[in-house]
Amino acid sequence: MSALKNLTAEYALRIGDTSLVLGQRLGEWCGHGPILEEDIALTNISLDLIGQARAFLTYAGELEGRGRTEDDLAFQRDERDFRNNLMVEQPNGDYAHTMLRQFFVSAFHYYFFSELCKSKDTTLAALAEKSLKEVTYHLRHSSEWIIRFGDGTPESNLRMLEAIDTLYRFTGDMFASNDIDNELLKAGIAVDMTVVYANWMKKVESVFAQATLTVPKDCFMITGGIKGIHSEHLGHLLSEMQVLPRSFPGVEW
Amino acid sequence: MKLSEKEIYQLICSIPDPEIPVITIEELGILREVRLEGTKVIVSITPTYSGCPAMKAIEQEIFSILKEKGITDLEVKTVFSPVWTTDWLTDYAKEKLTAYGIAPPLHSTNDKNVLLNRSIHCPRCGSTNTEMISHFGSTACKALYRCGGCLEVFDYFKCH
| Residue-wise pLDDT tens digits, A195-236 | 999 999 999 999 999 999 999 998 999 999 999 999 999 999
Q: How would residue A119 be classed by pLDDT, with cut points 50, 70 and 90?
A: very high
Chain B positions touching A126 (Cβ under 8 A) are 80-83
Pairs of residues, one from chain A and one from chain B, whose beta carbons lie less than 8 Å apart: 74
Taking the C-alpha atoms of residue A220 and residue B101, their distance in angstroms, rounded to an integer, is 52
Taking the C-alpha atoms of residue A48 and residue A126, their distance in angstroms, rounded to an integer, is 15
In order, the DSSP letters of B60-126 are HHHHHHHHHTT--SEEEEE--SSPP-GGGS-HHHHHHHHHHTEEPPSS--S-GGGSS------TTT-
Residues of chain A with pLDDT > 90, as a percent, come to 96
Q: Which helix (H) or strand (E) holds A114?
A: helix A95-116
Rounded mean pLDDT of A121-138?
Answer: 95
Domain that includes residue A54, residue range: 3-247
**In-domain check, residue A140:** yes
**In-domain check, residue A145:** yes
A140: nearest CB among B80, B85, B116: B116
Q: Give every CB contact of residue A74 below 8 A, 6+ residues apart in sequence.
A: A20, A53, A57, A241, A242
**Under an 8 A CB cutoff, do A137 and B158 touch?**
yes
**In-domain check, residue A252:** no
B113 touches chain A (CB under 8 A): no
Chain A positions touching B112 (Cβ under 8 A) are 132-133, 136
**Under an 8 A CB cutoff, do A40 and B160 touch?**
no
**Under an 8 A CB cutoff, do B135 and A141 touch?**
yes
**Under an 8 A CB cutoff, do A40 and B136 touch?**
yes
**In-domain check, residue A77:** yes
Show the low-confidence residues of chain B (pLDDT under 70): 1, 107-118
Q: Are B132 and B145 in contact (CB under 8 A)?
A: yes
Report the gap between the CA of B3 and the closest CA in chain A (Å): 31
- Measured between CA atoms, the residue of chain B closest to residue A135 is B112
Restricting to B residues 58-87, those with a Cβ less than 8 Å away from any Cβ of A are 80-85
B50: nearest CB among A40, A41, A51: A51
Give me the half-sphere count of Cα atoms (radius 13 Å) on the Cβ side of residue A227.
10
Paired sense of beta strands B74-78 and B40-45, if any:
parallel
For chain A, the average pLDDT equals: 96
- Measured between CA atoms, the residue of chain A closest to residue B133 is A37
pLDDT digits (tens, 9 = 90+) for A18-27: 999 999 999 9
- ipTM for this prediction: 0.82
Longest CA–CA span in chain B (Å) reads 58
Rounded mean pLDDT of A153-162?
Answer: 98
The pLDDT assigned to B117 comes to 52
**Under an 8 A CB cutoff, do A41 and B133 touch?**
no
Taking the C-alpha atoms of residue A196 and residue A132, their distance in angstroms, rounded to an integer, is 14
DSSP single-letter state for residue A67: -
Q: Are B154 and B103 in contact (CB under 8 A)?
A: yes
**In-domain check, residue A253:** no
Q: Give every CB contact of residue B118 below 8 A, 6+ residues apart in sequence.
A: B106, B107, B159
- Measured between CA atoms, the residue of chain B closest to residue A39 is B136
pLDDT digits (tens, 9 = 90+) for A181-190: 999 999 999 9
In degrees, rounded to 5, the angle at the alpha carbon of residue B71 between the alpha carbons of residues B69 and B74 is: 140
Give me the half-sphere count of Cα atoms (radius 13 Å) on the Cβ side of residue B61.
17
Q: Are A42 and A137 in contact (CB under 8 A)?
A: no
Phi first, then psi, for residue A228 (nearest 5°) are 85, 15
What's A192's domain CATH number?
A: 1.20.1260.10
A48: nearest CB among B49, B83, B112: B49
Taking the C-alpha atoms of residue B114 and residue B134, their distance in angstroms, rounded to an integer, is 18
pLDDT digits (tens, 9 = 90+) for B61-97: 999 999 998 888 999 998 988 888 888 888 888 999 9
Q: Give every CB contact of residue A219 below 8 A, 6+ residues apart in sequence.
A: A168, A169, A171
pTM of the model: 0.91
Domain range annotation of chain B: 5-84, 102-157
Question: Could you give the number of structural domains in chain A?
Answer: 1
- Measured between CA atoms, the residue of chain B closest to residue A141 is B135
CB count within 10 Å of CB A155 equals 10
**Under an 8 A CB cutoff, do B50 and A41 touch?**
no
Domain spanning B5-84, CATH architecture: 2-Layer Sandwich (3.30)
The pLDDT assigned to B107 comes to 61
